């Protein structure tokens, strides 16, 4: 009986200790994955690793990986899921870095990369949202002119509903940029004049 009570006490102490560690870990805002401290350096490394993985999506021999996985899914289906999962993880790493380290020099680029990734995947509203955040939070961003042009182009592609005031806002902000190439300035002025006409109608 004493042996049983001692064993019960031991189990209880282990449980209590694990609860304390869990609470300690949950109260520490700087924890990522298996207790690894989050700081700008480790966050940057995670982003770099995921970015390399995306670059290698079209160069690695994924058929061999698919065969080794013994997946019942077709190769194309399996590859699409792998690509989507990797991109989602990349976006999550980018946005997490921005939220936790807004003053870090990489944070503006994180929003820029998120904006581009959403745009390339066809999620125009998501791209516009992150573009707006970048414009507001980092008004001196080095790629600001390109960002404003991209925002206007994305906005002009939205048909349901079409937001002309928002389009004009991006174009006017672009015209306010110093050292804007004269040819581009003329193009933007013409674009602004015809902002009421949908892009799909203008390119025909």
Cβ proximity of 80 and 26 under 8 Å: no
Q: Which residues in the chain show pLDDT less than 70?
A: 1-37, 57-61, 203-204
What pLDDT was estimated at residue 161? 83
Q: Please, are residues 135 and 147 in contact by the beta-carbon 8 Å criterion?
A: yes
Give the residue from 119, 120, 121, 95 showing the smallest Cα distance to 109: 95
pLDDT for res 127 = 96
Helices (H) and strands (E) in the chain, counts: 10, 2
Report pLDDT for 153: 95
- What is the rounded CA–CA span in Å between residue 113 and residue 91? 8
CA distance 53 to 46: 11
pLDDT for position 60: 61
Record the pTM: 0.72
Measured CA angle at 40 (ends 39, 42), to 5 deg = 70
pLDDT of residue 66: 76
pLDDT at position 152 is 97
Spatial separation of the C-alpha atoms in residues 107 and 166, rounded to whole Å: 25
pLDDT at 24: 37
125-170 tens-digit pLDDT: 999 999 999 999 999 999 999 999 999 999 999 887 889 999 999 9
- How crowded is the C-beta side of 53, counted as CA atoms within 13 Å? 16
Question: For residue 59, how many C-alpha atoms fall within 13 Å in the half-sphere facing its CB?
Answer: 5
Question: Taking the CA atoms of the chain, what radius of gyration do you get in angstroms?
Answer: 25
Please state, in angstroms and rounded to a whole number, the distance separating the CA atoms of residues 187 and 41: 42
Cis peptide bond prior to 173, omega within 30° of 0: no
């Amino acid at each position: 009986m004493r042996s049983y009570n001692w064993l019960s006490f031991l189990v209880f102490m282990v449980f209590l200790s694990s609860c304390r560690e869990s609470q300690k870990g949950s109260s520490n805002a700087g924890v990522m994955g298996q207790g690894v401290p989050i700081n700008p350096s480790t966050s940057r490394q995670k982003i770099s690793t995921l970015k390399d993985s995306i670059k290698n999506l079209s160069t690695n021999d994924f058929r061999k990986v698919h065969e080794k996985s013994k997946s019942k899914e077709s190769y194309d289906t399996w590859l699409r899921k792998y690509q989507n999962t990797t991109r989602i993880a990349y976006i999550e790493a980018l946005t997490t870095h921005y939220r936790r380290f807004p003053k870090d020099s990489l944070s503006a680029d994180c929003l820029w990369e998120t904006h581009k990734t959403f745009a390339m995947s066809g999620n125009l509203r998501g791209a516009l949202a992150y573009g707006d955040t970048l414009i507001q939070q980092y008004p001196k961003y080095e790629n600001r002119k390109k960002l404003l042009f991209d925002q206007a182009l994305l906005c002009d592609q939205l048909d349901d509903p079409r937001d002309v005031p928002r389009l004009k806002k991006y174009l006017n902000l672009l015209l306010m940029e110093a050292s804007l190439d004269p040819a581009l300035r003329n193009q933007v002025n013409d674009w602004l004049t015809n902002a009421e006409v949908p892009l799909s109608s203008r390119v025909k």
